[in-house]
Amino acid sequence: MKSLKNEDGFSPLHTLLVLVIVGIIGFTGWYVWNANQDATKTLNKANKETSSESNASRLDHQNDARYKITELKLAVSLNDKTTDLISKVSGSKIDFSLKSFLDEANAAKYSYIDPNGVNSCEKLVTIKVLKDAAEVRQQPTEVTGELIDTKGDPLEGRIIKLNDGRYALPSTNQGPCNGDASFDGSPLQDKDVAARSNILKVLQASLQSY
């Protein structure tokens, strides 16, 4: 009988080589998977931090005690007496009131709504936004103050210069909400005067463009 010298199968060297190859493939797969996990964790952490910053920013915006008139890019810092400030924009003019006062005036029939639907108590204080010094000179002078125009001439009037080069001219010559003399000296009339004064103070103190 002939002996079989060439037998099929793995020698110990072959087995070891296969194990090494399998080990390398396994380690490479584990390394790639682990790197992806680290990258995912880093990305999630960054997203959480960004989200936290965004939430903090929104919170700061909510706590920002400034009233913004978006149509004319104006803002005014509020105080404890003007937290319910409201406005109505018409062209370059803005009428201001306090919601609490307006609600009470309407309930007491102190306000007057004209045929055009304009509520007289929405006009406690009015300002007009002017584009330049030339426009300022065309306005009536209504309050104390001084502004030097581009020619070096003084401009009298209660002018507020905004940080974008425009000017604001506040007006306090509004009449009573409905012109009814029967309210003279009444508590509501006193509130009318106080509301106008409070609004005008915050406008003169902090009206600015943004």
Give tens-digit pLDDT for 17-26: 878 888 888 8
Provide the whole-model pTM.
Answer: 0.61
Name the band, by pLDDT with cuts 50, 70 and 90, for residue 104: very high
| Domain regions of the chain by residue span | 68-209
84 contacts: CB under 8 Å, gap ≥ 6: 98, 99, 100
Q: What is the share, in percent, of the chain residues with pLDDT greater than 90?
A: 16
Name the residue with higher pLDDT: 90 or 50.
Answer: 90
Q: What DSSP assignment string belongs to the chain?
A: -----S--S--HHHHHHHHHHHHHHHHHHHHHHHHHHHHHHHHHHHHHHHHHHHHHHHHHHHH--EEEEGGGTEEEE--TTSTTEEEEEETTEEEEEEHHHHHHHHHTT-S-B-TT--BGGG-SEEEEEESSHHHHHTSPP-SS-EEE-TTS-EEES--EE-TTS-EEEEE-----SS--GGGTTSHHHHHHHHHHHHHHHHHHHH-EE-
Copy the structure tokens of residue 122. 């929405």
9: left (phi over 0), alpha (psi -120 to 50) or beta: left
Name the residue with higher pLDDT: 110 or 36.
Answer: 110
Give tens-digit pLDDT for 142-157: 433 444 444 544 444 4
